[in-house]
Structure 1
């Protein structure tokens, strides 16, 4: 008897690869979101803080200059009046010395002790003070440029003198002031040698148009001094020239120059009037833009 043996093929078992389940890691994700939001919030805060600080600084600088200039001018005026006024007698000089203590440092009081003595033959009175400049050296110190006019009397002789000086004032944090540099000879601005370029019509406006404008300007400037706003509206656009309501009598258009630019006519004109109150002849100068729609009209001042 034959026994039939059957072999069963062995199947290789596939081993399962171990896996790790990745969860949401809620704690880690939350921490990262908090870090991101904190960074953004800090950046926004720094940005707005920087802008606010800058704006505040600029505002403080502007206000400081305006307020200090007025106070410095008043303080300087009082000091200058006391410093440049004297009489050659002991009582008056003692009073002057005492008054200057309110303005000068102790060092400057000693320095100026022998400026005016009883043996000098002059008296001085301050007639006027003119300020030319108050310049900030730094936060607390200011240079003051001024002219003082004095009436100097010596026996029966009187003369007026003008002198230019600069002094330095210290302003402390409580806005109290003291003179820290004596008035020192200086110079004030004088007449400039500048000469403006002489203007003349450049030929861009033809003869016919020139005649029309001449006629228009004479008509307008005759009525201009006494015209009201409604009357001016026929000649002037958008109230470019305001009513003056003056008692001026028109004499002439003494000079005029015309130029064409971008469809408009620019005019430089000098007009003479007789002032009926002062009886003087006054010459007024205007720079205007003119346009012609139906009639000529002044559109604006240059």
Structure 2
């Protein structure tokens, strides 16, 4: 009896790979964003129920300039200067009177200082020809700085000369509008002529010769009538409020150096106008800068 033995193929079993739990890295980012969104929403809800109503208030501060009447200060300083800068030579009585009058303007300390500045035997005499107030500036509630100049005629024996000087003083004004000088006259400078030169209007050939002739004729006619023209007569030539009615007896002579420049639909004119004044028998030259417009006729619409 034959026995057959089955052979089983023994295959080598491969070890199983361990299972790896794979997480999508994008899930972490998404989770974080959702957490942030949730926290933001919660904070917004919290702020909604706990916030205090606020209103933005804009404050507008209006600074109003207060006009100060300085006439009393100017008159006070002018009267003081006429006393302070006047004296007579070798006249003790007159000098004593001067010192007595200065008491009405100066503090006690300043009066004592100034009472000895001019000796009794002073060889010169002084008279004030003119006092000119240049400026009055308020430095605080009760103090005013005043700049002024004085023209004096100084006489010594037979010699005379005119002296001009400028000074600055400080005036105290109390609650009852009483005044006193608290700073002695201190030398300062006098305003002089400025070097400023305005830029003149120049012809740029933007206005043709025919138009210039028309404007010349219009302005000559107008300025001949202007000195004595009434408001109703002016209305034919000038828009209301541009030029005032002057009602003076002047005789028109000529236009001097007119300059014409085109400005859009208008013409800018710069011109001197010569008049003769019958009262003084002299010429008077007025200077105008005008804006003209032509509809049916020429008219002055601005200056």
For normalisation by structure 2, the TM-score amounts to 0.75
Counterpart in the other structure of 1:33: none
Where in structure 2 are the equivalents of 1:66-145 lying within 5 Å?
A: 66-67=68-69, 69-88=70-89, 89-145=91-147
Where in structure 2 are the equivalents of 1:1-302 lying within 5 Å?
A: 62-63=66-67, 66-67=68-69, 69-88=70-89, 89-238=91-240, 240-300=242-302, 302=303
Which range moved further: 119-128 or 237-246?
237-246
1 or 2, which has the higher helix percentage? 1
Displacement of 1:77 in angstroms is 1.6
Q: Give the Cα separation in 2 of the matches to 1:192 and 1:141.
A: 29
Unaligned runs of 5+ in 2: 1-53
Displacement of 1:270 in angstroms is 1.0
Q: Give the Cα separation in 1 of the matches to 2:246 and 2:106.
A: 50
Cα 1:155–1:222 change in 2 (3 A) is: same
Unaligned runs of 5+ in 1: 1-39
Cα 1:178–1:227 change in 2 (3 A) is: closer
Q: 1:40-90: CA deviations, max 9, x gaps?
A: 9xx9xxx9xx99xx77xx66x715xx13x2221122122111111112311
Which range moved further: 204-213 or 154-163?
154-163
Q: 1:16-54: CA deviations, max 9, x gaps?
A: xxxxxxxxxxxxxxxxxxxxxxxx9xx9xxx9xx99xx7
Q: Give the Cα separation in 2 of the matches to 1:234 and 1:173.
A: 55
SS state at 2:66 partner: helix
**Aligned-pair Cα RMSD in Å:** 2.6
Give yes or no for contact 1:233–1:239 (8 Å, CA) kept in 2: no
Q: Give the Cα separation in 2 of the matches to 1:237 and 1:174.
A: 49
Q: Give the Cα separation in 2 of the matches to 1:232 and 1:103.
A: 53
Displacement of 1:222 in angstroms is 2.1
Considering only CA atoms, is the larger Rg found in Structure 1 or Structure 2? 2
Number of aligned pairs? 251
Q: 1:147-167: CA deviations, max 9, x gaps?
A: 111222222333322211111
Q: Give the Cα separation in 1 of the matches to 2:216 and 2:279.
A: 28
Displacement of 1:108 in angstroms is 1.4
Displacement of 1:233 in angstroms is 2.5
Which range moved further: 237-246 or 132-141?
237-246
SS state at 1:62 partner: coil
Give yes or no for contact 1:86–1:123 (8 Å, CA) kept in 2: yes
Counterpart in the other structure of 1:37: none
Which range moved further: 290-299 or 170-179?
170-179
Q: Give the Cα separation in 1 of the matches to 2:145 and 2:179.
A: 13
Give yes or no for contact 1:248–1:273 (8 Å, CA) kept in 2: yes
Q: Give the Cα separation in 2 of the matches to 1:248 and 1:207.
A: 29
